[in-house]
Chains A and B, each alone.
Chain A
Amino acid sequence: MALWIQITPGSDEPIYLQIVEQVGEAIAKGQLAVGDKLPAVRKLASELIINPNTVARAYTILEQSGLVTTKTGSGTFVADPSLRGKDAADINMLADRMDGILSRGLNLGLESQDIIAMFKDRLEKFIKTRQGGRRKND
């Protein structure tokens, strides 16, 4: 169950954000589909050996960004994408993150069209994994 979430203490990235990123990626790749249930907070905390509040914090952020919804008493589920808000702040943050990647690419000596091609290639692979079936969750 949820063994695919791997956390690294001592990383630059706080643990709750590592969980947010990994769940986000699994949803983007379709490894978690709409309606799939995320592991319960306490269960994930004891599996990963981390503080339950850290997991709860990650779930709250996922919920605020509209990726999951929490139904009281039954758990946290992957939300319907049509209901996810496209927040201007989120989009700005995404643009900021892209800057980092772009500067690395340019520093490696890549041309603009190379970078665009790489982006396209990765995006296609993402979509392919999405169609190519879901991750075995248990």
Chain B
Amino acid sequence: MTEFVLETQGLTKFYGDKLAVDHIDLKIPRGCICGFVGRNGSGKTTAIKLLLGFLKPTAGSSRLLGCDSQDLTPAIRQRIGYVAEGHRLIRWMTIAEIAKFQSAFFHEQPASAKQGDAGWDSKFFWDMIDYFGLSKKQKIKHLSNGQRAQVSLALTLAPNPELLIMDDPTLGLDAAIRRQFLEGIIELIMRQGRTILFSSHILGDIERVADKIVVIDKGVIRADCSLEQFRTEVKKVRFVFNQSPPQTIDIEGLLGSRRSDKELEVILVGTADEKIAEWAKSSGAADYQTINMNLEDQFIEYTAPAGRNKPFTWEAK
């Protein structure tokens, strides 16, 4: 049986009469790196705050490591790492002071601990700080955004969290620091049984490290599947006609379309190749071809506001 370290059921949040998160049902198995993507204002941050119990849901519930988000005990929280958007740290502290402050929330690893054991791993923290070219005496307020992000990552990874939740951790970071961040994620996932949920607008990063993708749009989960499945199932097909293309397009999984004099371009989700061939034949298309898209194009097409009132959910197989 698969163990889900993160589970939600009908998780919903209203701010006044504004619906921010709409009946989210999510299940994330242990060992998964899940990329959480959505446009600005789509409800990512609200969903993350609900998961961590920082906000109270209007309806529904969520569980982290088997414990309800609203009742997370200190013992459970020790096993969860959280990187907030913007990497806010206590500004007047030095790196050494903030390390001491943070480590007090965890038990110290015994000298006999093996790499990957639970508890504050001081050596790991200082190795990481050293790797980033930082030193103990530097004050947080004198660090650049990138350096603050690095300290924040080291603070979050040092207790060796079982579940790591990050809200747009690479926002505003330069390419080199972003790369180090991704290295940190891969390093963590190599340890058995670690699970990561992170949101990002940089789809190249998602493509590198995620094995699952969750797309949220206007508070609704629109896709929840393996990254590979998303890559293969969201496709663009161009039909060429000898006359003007038909007005009605009744292909299964149609997401959007564009037309010119004699061409019709459609975005499809999960449509079998045979169905495409069948439609081409029945609509009298002279020819058609599938056009490869990169993940960014797929995401943009997938969340394009194409006048669909009813958001449509594609269930992963």
Q: Which residues of A contact B (CB under 8 A)?
A: 9-16, 42, 45-46, 49-54, 57
Contact = CB atoms under 8 A, between A and B. Distances in A.
Contacts of B187: 46
Contact of B228 (A9, A16, A50, A52): A16
A62 B203 CA distance: 26
A59 to B, nearest CB: 14
A11 B189 CA distance: 24
Contacts of A12: 292-294
B183 A53 contact: no
A52 B295 CA distance: 19
14 contacts: A9-B205, A9-B208, A10-B207, A13-B292, A14-B231, A15-B208, A42-B190, A45-B186, A46-B183, A46-B187, A49-B179, A51-B189, A51-B211, A52-B190
Nearest to A12: B292
Interface residues of B, number: 24
B285 interface: no
B186 A46 contact: yes
Contacts of A15: 207-208
B231 A9 contact: no
B228 A10 contact: no
Contacts of A10: 203-204, 207, 294-296
B207 A9 contact: yes
Contact of A49 (B33, B182, B203, B292): B182
Contacts of B190: 42, 45-46, 52
Nearest to A50: B208
Contacts of B231: 14
